[in-house]
Amino acid sequence: MKIFKAKPNLKILFVASEAAPFSKAGGLGEVMFALPKALAALGYDARVMIPRYAGINQDKFFLKMLSEGLMVPTDAQENRQPRHLQCNIKQYENVYFLENREYYEQRANIYGYADDTVRWALLSRGVLEFLNQNREWMPDIIVSSDWQAAFLPNYLKTTYKDYARLSGIATVFSIHNLYYQGMFDHKFVSEMDYDAGQAQIPSFFDTRLLKLNMMRRGIMYADVINTVSPTYAKEIMTLDYGESLDGLLRERRSVVYGILNGIDYDTVNPKTDPHLPANYDVSSAKLRIQNKLELQKCFGLQEDSKKFVVGIVSRLDEQKGFDLLFDSLEALLHELDMQLVVVGSGDAKYMSFFGEIAKKFPERVAAHLSFDTVLPHLVFGGADAVLIPSKFEPSGLTQMEAMRYGAIPIARRTGGLADTVEDYGPGDEAGTGFVFERFSSQALSIALVRAYETYRHPSLWNNFQRRAMSKDFSWEHSAKEYIKLFEKAIDIKKGNVLG
C-alpha cells in the first residue's frame, strides 16, 4: 500500500467569488472552505482570496490590513476613465480579501449586478498585482474557480507574461458548473458578439468586456482544467452536456480531469448535529425514528414511523430535473403510501407546482418554499429517502450528505451522482441508492417504486442505511487527488510534460 507523503513546501492559492464562512451563496463557497482546510490538514500551505463584501462581519472576523493603496490597472483608454482602481488587501488567518469600496464594500450581495464582469476582472487583476508586490508569500499554484475567476489564467498568460515574479506560477481552472459562462446567455450569442478567446481582454469600462466568454478563456489559458466529478469531466466533452464548449474541451482533453467534491465530516455529522432531536451514528441508526416523527410533526404530516417519507432538499430550477414530476407525482401519491417533504426555493413554476401539490394532498405533501439552513438537517436525519432527479449534476452534495445521515438517494445517473450513488438490485448485498438512467418521468417513477418496495422489508432497508452511512466522502481523499493534479500542473508549466 502506497503511503501518501505530503510536500509541505507546496503553496496553493484558491481564487473565487465566495468562501464560507465569510460569504456563501452556494456549493462553491462550501468547497472554498473545506478543500483548503483538508489540504492544510495534509501539511500544505493552502490559502484563499475573495472580495471583501459589505456582508462580511468585521466584528466577528478581525481583518488585518496587509497592503494599503494597491493600484490595480484598468487598461482604460478614454478621458475621465480612471487608469487604476485603488484597493486594499486584508487578511484573516489563511484568507485574503480584496477590498474596493465601489465594487465590493458597497454591495450587499455577492452576485446580481450589471457590472459583475468588471468586479470579477478586478478580482483577477487585483490578485496578480498583489502577488507581484507582496514579498512574504508566493503560490506555486493558483486555482481559479468558475467563470468569475476565469480571467486570471488569461491575464497571467498575456498581460502579465513578462512579470518575472509571476512567471513560475502554474494555473488550474476549476469548473463547478459549465452552464454559467459569463454575463450573457451563451445559447443565444450573435456572430458579431462571439468571443473566440484570443483577443486581448478590453478595459474595465469597455462594453465589449460584458460580452466575453470568461469560461472559454479559463479553459483556453489554464495549464490544467478540472471539474468536480470524474463523470462530469467526461460528459462536458459531449454535445449534450458541453454547453457549446465541448469542442474546446475535447481539444484540451489531455489536461482535463475530474475530482469528486467531498463533504466536511466535522459539520455534516448526525452524531453531533445540534439541529436533530436525536443524534445517532451507523451503529445506532434506529434512533432516526425520533427524527422522522419530529419531521412529520414539523411539517404537519401524520406522525407514523412506518410511513415511507421522501425528502427533497434542493434549489428549484431546471437543472435539478423536477419537470419529471409534473406528469407523475399525483399518480405516485395515489398509488403509494408515502409522504413527501420539500425544502427549497427557486423558479416560480417549480415553487407553484409543489405549493399546489401540497394543497391538493395536505396529509401527504408538505413544502417549505424558501431558503432555510436548519430544515435540511431534519430532512436528512428523518426522511427515509431523498429524491435527486437532476438533468445534469457536476458534483452534488445533497446525495453525499443524505447518505451520511442514512437517507437513501433516488437519483439519476449523471455527473457526480453517477460517481457517488451505487444502484441496488434485488438480492444485492451492495448498493447505496436507486439509480435511473433516462431523463424521463417513467424512469423516475420506476426508481421510486423500487425504493418503496424495498422499504417494506425492514431488514433490507436497515442494511441499506448502514451501507450508505459507511461510505467515505470526506475531503481527505479528494485533497490527495488535488495534490496529484497540482503537481501535474507544475510539470506542465515547467515544460516537463506536454499540456
Domain boundaries, the chain: 11-262+476-494, 282-471
Residue 107: its pLDDT value, please? 87
Residue 122: its pLDDT value, please? 98
**Residue 11 annotated in ligand binding:** no
Residue 1: its pLDDT value, please? 38
Which parts of the chain have pLDDT scores under 70?
1-8, 183-193, 496-499
Domains 11-262+476-494 and 282-471 share a fold: yes
Residue 104: its pLDDT value, please? 94
pLDDT tens, position by position, 232-283: 999 999 999 999 999 999 999 999 999 999 998 888 999 999 999 999 999 9
Residue 498: its pLDDT value, please? 60
CB 400 within 8 A of CB 473: yes
| Short-list 130, 138, 156, 136, CA closest to 71 | 130
Residue 193: its pLDDT value, please? 65
CB 351 within 8 A of CB 369: yes
SS3 344: coil
CATH 3.20.190.10 at 282-471, yes or no: no
Sheet of strand 45-51: strand arrangement? 64-73, 84-92, 95-99, 45-51, 11-15, 141-145, 170-175, 224-227, 256-258
CATH 3.40.50.2000 at 11-262+476-494, yes or no: yes
